[in-house]
Amino acid sequence: MSVAGTRRLCRAGLVAVLVTALCVLTLLDSPPQLPDPPADPPPTPGGEPPGTRSIVAYSWARRLALDYRPTKECDGNGTYGTTLNTFKLADEKWLETIPGQLFLYSAHLDLRVAGYPSLRVIGVKRGPLPTSGLFCTVWYEEDERGRAVSVEALVSTIWLDEWGETVDSYAGILVGCQLPPDPAIEPSRVYVGLEPCHQDASHSLAIKNREERNRTEGRRRQFTLCIKGLDFDEDISAKIVAFVELHRILGAEHFYFYVFNVHENVLRVLRLYESSHVIRWFNLTLPGDLPNEKTARRRLLAEDIWTKRRMELIPYNHCFYDNLHRSEFVLPIDVDEAIVPVRRNNWHELLLDERIKLGRSFKDFASYAVRNVYFFPELQQTRNQTDRPSFQWNDSSTTDDTLLTGLDYLDTIRTACISPEGDSVKSFVSTRRALTVHNHYALTTLNPSTRRAHHFDPDDVLKHHHRACDDRHLDCEVMMEDVRVDESATRYADELERRMRVFFNDLKAFA
């Protein structure tokens, strides 16, 4: 047999071994056994080394095998039907399972890896968790009674070690609970704690089942936006409407808002959008002994920037997992930002161009990052802004100074300096390939071979950041010396104004 034939045979044999192993994993609820990979032939000059894709596939399967934890049946869990719907995220509750140490926020079914269904539980730990390990108790509803199984929990921190963490700090975690590979039966509740086979199903998190998902999902959306905890005393209702409508023009189909504290007019806006299924919004609180009184919470988050940044990742990851099977991409973003294409009209066209440009390698990334430029309000004062749309919400509950001046999204003077790759970016995060989410990009990936972020060319798209310059973090004098005229957002002005008028007319009608 020739050398080439031998190589083909080796590769074919490796593929056959991997396919067989993965098929076995989908059928058995036992720790899978995978053989060591055969040695690859030496690399050819130039191009991809032979067997590279096979090794990547093997490594992925091997990691799944090493992470696998078998479940065991729990006996004597009592009646189950009376415990349904006892926990709702909208009630602002955290589920404390280890006093002072472990707080659970939400639980989500992850069916992305064939043969490895998992629950992903988002929570917060304080300091190191007990070394004895944690266990997931998972309930299934069968004939109005409860069947429960227990499995060892796999815990990862939603943070990077190089960013630092104090021993006693609060940090987000993602808990993985392996499920038996039975797609016909889905779990309904989960508890994570020190003991296996937890007895009290009422002290657990509810999981959205398949029937409810099918009823609420419809078709898979392309873009969902995630907006971290709003905390404003002032009336920013006009800004929220401008933000939502501009991004709907750009391609956003759904929005997740998280709320600490906002003006009553902002709540009216959120409720009307919610009634038309444009947004979902959630009251947000901090876990454990972190303060939730408004003044104390604001002081903490202003003074302890690392706690603030770690806690921001909880709503972002909840938004990601709640849209895991609903949207192609989630976009963590702030209300003073807008992702504006330069050459194209919307995000769908932008992503289509990038898919064509990258070809097969498009799927090698878990997020697609857009670089940042600043539209400081101080810069806009240097030009005549009288042609910007402006109108008043004539409502008896408002005063004459309630003008819809949230249209700073249409400003035209920006810094010439574009942020470096990875600095102040915002990203379209793939729900197929990311595992955890940071406010700038995918933090970790589902498949270890997937790369975290690809950066768009700034000639194709920019993130417009509308905020005052802060001398503590930026060299404002230098940045404002070199500016550019950028009218890329003004093409949306007429449509944005029309949409805002329609919305506020509806808001008055439903007042």
Mean pLDDT of each 10-residue bin along the chain, 511 residues long: 47 44 36 33 38 49 71 68 43 84 96 90 93 90 78 91 74 93 81 94 84 61 96 94 97 97 96 95 96 96 92 97 95 97 97 96 96 93 52 44 62 93 94 95 92 96 94 86 93 93 89 65
User: How far apart (Å, rounded) are the C-alpha atoms in residues 171 and 128?
Assistant: 10
| Sequence-ordered list of residues with C-beta below 8 angstroms from that of 368, at least 6 positions apart, any chain | 329, 351, 354, 427, 428, 430, 453, 454, 455, 456
User: Which long-range contacts does 341-347 make (Cβ < 8 Å, 24+ apart)?
Assistant: 341/250, 341/460, 341/461, 341/488, 342/459, 342/460, 342/461, 342/462, 342/488, 343/459, 343/460, 344/460, 344/461, 345/491, 346/249, 346/250, 346/251, 347/222, 347/223, 347/250, 347/251, 347/252, 347/428
- pTM higher than 0.85: no
Residue 412 contacts residue 383 (beta carbons within 8 Å)? yes
**Cα–Cα distance for residue pair 131/215, rounded to 1 Å:** 41
Q: In this structure, are residues 178 and 149 in contact, taking their beta carbons and an 8 Å threshold? A: no
**DSSP bridge pairs for 150:** 72, 137
In our burial notation (b when 16+ CB lie closer than 10 A, e otherwise), range 285-314 reads: bbbeebeeeeeebeeebeeeeebeebbbbb
- Identify the structural domains of the chain with CATH numbers, from first to last: 3-67 (no CATH), 72-214 (no CATH), 219-509 (3.90.550)
Q: What is the 3-state secondary structure (H, E, C) of 65-98?
A: HHHCCCCEEECCCCCCHHHCCCCCHHHCCCEEEE
Calculate the dihedral angle through the C-alpha atoms of 396, 400, 404, 405, rounding to the nearest 10 degrees: -160
Helix, strand or coil for residue 335?
coil
Single-letter amino acid, residue 472: R
pLDDT of residue 37: 32
Tokens of 185: 């039966």
Could you tell me which of 491, 490, 494, 486 has the C-alpha nearest to residue 458? Answer: 486
**Rounded Cα–Cα distance for residues 441 and 428 (Å):** 8
Residue-wise pLDDT tens digits, 349-361: 999 999 999 999 9
CA distances from 471 to 304, 420, 475 (A): 19, 19, 6
pLDDT score for 71: 82
Q: Are 371 and 281 in contact (CB under 8 A)?
A: no
Whether the CB-CB separation of 300 and 170 falls below 8 Å is answered with: no
Angle value at C-alpha 88, between 82 and 94, nearest 5 degrees: 110
For residue 324, what pLDDT is reported?
A: 94
Give me the amino acid identity at 210. Answer: R
- Which stretches of 291-346 are DSSP H helices? 294-303, 305-322
Residue 423, CA distances (Å) to 2, 11, 334, 367, 440 in order: 52, 41, 15, 14, 8
Distances in whole angstroms, Cα of residue 459 to Cα of each of 90, 338, 341, 404, 492: 41, 16, 9, 31, 19
Give the pLDDT of residue 172. Answer: 95
